[in-house]
Structure 1
């Protein structure tokens, strides 16, 4: 859960592959496993905070909402598909906090008014004891 009181009511939008790829821990050998691990970590961390995890691809059984965490897949495949979906979500909720280290996506969502947290910082947040 967020330690910063200003972030409590913000909706978190997570660029899943950017967060997964932020650490060279062998995730590329098991993308599905890495995706499941991230969703599990986010679910354990989120508490009541609204979080949307945006996937490029991933197993169907992860899609949907459990508690305050919603997992969605980009509606199309291809380059920047998840980024475009995150931008679309920010357009509907410009007070969102986007988790990514993708410079182009950072620029796009900041232009719409969203706050940004880097993928590495977010991973450390997930791995910190409460």
Structure 2
């Protein structure tokens, strides 16, 4: 399997992330994202807080950049979907960080910016 951006897999595969900042979105500090990476393909599941169940699918677009499509079912029964473009980083403690620009495609309008930090056991 050809892996053009191995650092994406190293920093995301089988790792969990929590919201650090997401003023305009539905996910919050109770929402946990669990990523899987296969080659340049990225997927995740997420839930918690306002999100009953969600998933993402996307791809690595550069050594530290990704793009995703996401969909979720809220605890209120809303079905929503959107897009995001993200950048991976590393914080002062060595945890992987994710920063996104995102927007809704269906269910609601608008968008925003959000950031996430790796959950370390």
TM over 0.5: no
Query: Which structure carries more strand by proportion?
Result: 2
Query: TM-score, normalised on structure 2?
Result: 0.30
Query: TM-score, normalised on structure 1?
Result: 0.29
Query: Which structure carries more helix by proportion?
Result: 1
The higher-RCO structure (CA 8 Å, 6+ apart) is 1
